[in-house]
């Protein structure tokens, strides 16, 4: 597909939010470009619609070439989610082109995590035990079923994940405090129902009275905030409230 200065935004940037788009910056006079082009076309075609190829003639489309600082051709940039994910310059051999394209595609674990059912998540954890986006949702399934030990064993394999640490802290609180204080019981019920605002209100509100479990409670809150994401308005508001409650 030939792309111009006028069509680049739609054909590449917007399209890359749906699947990877590989852009070949080339020119008619460039011998390595003519060598690379057919190799790229065959490799992309072999991936049967999972990645698209766009070609930009830098002589006819100086705006795009200037915007992406193309100084030497052939230059190949792969776009994913509206931005450059990876790139190379020069005419690579077919084997390296294959590796370049395959790096853009979802791995087996990615695909299993996207399915999200218990069987798929179990297989994903077998492939990558420390992968948080597989282990944490599977741990939630086990926890909801009452298998706290199974959930904790999964979460211990996920270092550096606030979501995993937060869920582990919740399970530890439930195991060591039976019954839970009523505000925590209600907060966890709200979490399970997907009512993050109510859950965070109760959890942060209970912090001043949380002698002995203050750090565990903080971990639970941080885990919820991590699940919401840094750009979530509720998370931003709750981080400020958490800091005030702690300090």
pLDDT in tens, 28-67: 999 999 999 999 999 999 988 889 999 999 999 999 999 9
How do 83-89 and 52-57 pair as beta strands? unpaired
Which residue is catalytic, options 23, 33, 43, 91? 33
Residue 245: its pLDDT value, please?
85
Query: CA 205: distance to chain centroid?
Result: 31
Do 128 and 161 form a contact (C-beta atoms < 8 A)?
no
Asked if residue 221 has pLDDT above 90, the reply is yes
Overall average pLDDT of the 116-143 stretch: 95
Q: With 90 as the cut, is the pLDDT of residue 107 above it? A: no
d(CA 147, CA 131): 20
Q: What average pLDDT does the segment 7-29 reach?
A: 93
Dmax over Cα atoms in the chain, in whole Å? 77
> Under CATH, what is the fold of the domain 8-102?
Glutaredoxin (3.40.30)
Catalytic status, residue 192: no
pLDDT confidence band for 177 (50 / 70 / 90): confident
Predicted confidence (pLDDT) at residue 196 exceeds the cutoff of 90: yes
The domain ranges of the chain are: 8-102, 108-246
Catalytic pick among 12, 23, 30, 171: 30
CA atoms within 13 A on the CB side of 45: 7
Residue 157 near residue 220, CB atoms below 8 Å: no
Residue 9: the pLDDT is: 94
* pLDDT for residue 246: 84
Give residue 130's pLDDT.
Answer: 93
Indicate if the pLDDT at residue 139 is higher than 90.
yes
Neighbouring CB atoms inside 10 A of 158's CB total 22
Task: Tell me whether residue 99 is one of the annotated catalytic residues.
Answer: no
pLDDT at 170 over 90: yes
- Assessment of whether the complete model's pTM goes beyond 0.85: no
Tell me whether the CATH fold assigned to 8-102 matches the one assigned to 108-246: no
Cis peptide before 105, with omega less than 30 degrees from 0? no
- Closest CA relative to residue 109, chosen from 81, 86, 129: 129
- pLDDT interval class at 151 (50, 70, 90): very high
Is domain 108-246 given the CATH code 3.40.1620 in the classification? Answer: no
Q: By the 8 A CB rule, do 171 and 143 touch?
A: yes
């Amino acid at each position: 597909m030939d792309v111009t200065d006028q069509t680049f935004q739609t054909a590449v940037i917007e399209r890359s939010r749906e699947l990877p788009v590989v852009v070949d910056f080339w020119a008619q006079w460039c011998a390595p470009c003519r060598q690379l082009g057919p190799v790229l076309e065959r490799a992309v075609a072999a991936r049967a619609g999972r990645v698209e190829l766009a070609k930009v003639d830098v002589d006819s489309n100086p705006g795009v070439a200037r915007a992406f600082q193309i100084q030497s051709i052939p230059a190949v940039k792969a776009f994913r989610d509206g931005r450059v994910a990876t790139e190379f310059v020069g005419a690579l051999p077919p084997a390296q082109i294959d590796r370049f394209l395959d790096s853009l595609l979802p791995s087996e674990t990615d695909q299993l995590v996207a399915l999200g059912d218990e069987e798929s998540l179990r297989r994903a954890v077998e492939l990558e035990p420390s992968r948080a986006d597989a282990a944490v949702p599977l741990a939630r399934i086990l926890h909801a079923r009452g298998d706290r030990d199974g959930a904790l064993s999964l979460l211990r394999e996920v270092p550096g994940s606030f979501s995993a640490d937060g869920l582990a802290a919740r399970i530890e609180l439930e195991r060591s405090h039976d019954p839970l204080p009523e505000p925590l019981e209600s907060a966890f019920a709200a979490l399970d129902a997907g009512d993050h605002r109510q859950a965070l209100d109760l959890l942060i509100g209970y912090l001043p009275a949380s002698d002995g479990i203050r750090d565990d409670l903080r971990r639970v809150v941080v885990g919820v905030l991590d699940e919401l994401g840094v750009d979530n308005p509720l998370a931003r508001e709750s981080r400020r409230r958490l800091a005030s409650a702690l300090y």
